[in-house]
């Protein structure tokens, strides 16, 4: 066995031929929405729950940033520091 054989640089098998184009590369939004029908029905409640959770997180974060006056959004400037 040759000790340098393991370090030989060779292109992997997929690089010998060009990769096939993605099947959905030219589809429109409506064509992609039709793909949702192929989704297993067990995943629909999970999607709804995740959608509500993400929506609630965005809502609460936005409300906190816009209404909390004690939240520091900027650094103190050097001239406003008291020694």
pLDDT in tens, 23-73: 656 578 888 788 877 888 898 899 999 999 999 999 999 999 899 888 887
- The residue assigned the tokens 């006056």 is 69
Per-residue tokens: 52? 């509500």
| pLDDT for res 30 | 84
- 47: how many CB neighbours lie within 10 A of its CB? 11
Can you give the pTM of this predicted structure? 0.48
**pLDDT band at 8; cut points 50, 70, 90:** low
């Amino acid at each position: 066995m040759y000790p340098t054989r393991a370090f030989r640089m060779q292109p992997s098998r997929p690089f010998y031929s060009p990769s096939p184009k993605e099947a959905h590369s030219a589809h429109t939004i409506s064509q992609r929405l039709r793909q949702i029908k192929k989704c297993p029905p067990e995943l629909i409640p999970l999607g709804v729950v995740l959608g509500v959770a993400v929506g609630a997180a965005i809502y609460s974060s936005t409300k906190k940033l816009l209404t909390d006056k004690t939240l520091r959004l900027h650094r103190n400037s050097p001239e406003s520091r008291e020694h």
